[in-house]
Amino acid sequence: MARSMRIFGLLYEVGAKRSVPALTVLHPRPVSTTPGLRSLTRYDKTGHTTDWKKKLTPEQYFVTREKGTEEPFSGIYLNHYEKGMYHCVCCDTPLFSSEAKYDSGAGWPSFREAHGTWEQDESHANILRRPDNSLGSTGTEVICKQCDAHLGHVFDDGPEPTGQWFCINSASLHFRPRAKNPDAKND
């Protein structure tokens, strides 16, 4: 028997027999308010289109292209503390540094700021903020600036010094560890 639960104001149905996506949205959210973001394909810098369903796993596609949300406490990067950079799973653009990651206790990877942010100026960051009023409550969606992938949401109740809480789906990320110093001597 299925049960309903509310996460960040979104109503989901969770059933015993699940296949990816693990959560089924009872009230689908509009994919976009602009025609350019509604496309299931996206032109890259070389002019080629990307077939996201072929490139991504079903869960990655659900989260990044259909603006889904993975189950809380289920993502592979929730308790991941290796030093390095979190990249967009769709286009490999660097998005968040491990140095900005913290444990919010909410069940998703959380970051204080996006990579490329300088004193809260995100003009050089690879993320964009979009208003999200799809279910009657005001929120701010975070998307990749390069490929429009849905990453998660940002809230204004994060830790100092930024006060920002980027709540990001693990399924939208790919981690690259920090390169070891090739000039360092092994003692």
Q: Which residues are catalytic?
A: 167
Residue 102: phi and psi, rounded to 5, are: -150, 165
Contacts of residue 118, Cβ cutoff 8 Å, sequence gap at least 6: 124
User: Parallel, antiparallel, or unpaired: how do β-strands 165-168 and 173-177 relate?
Assistant: unpaired
Q: How far apart are CA 186 and CA 63, in angstroms?
A: 42
Q: Which of 21, 78, 19, 18 shows the shortest CA–CA distance to 10?
A: 21
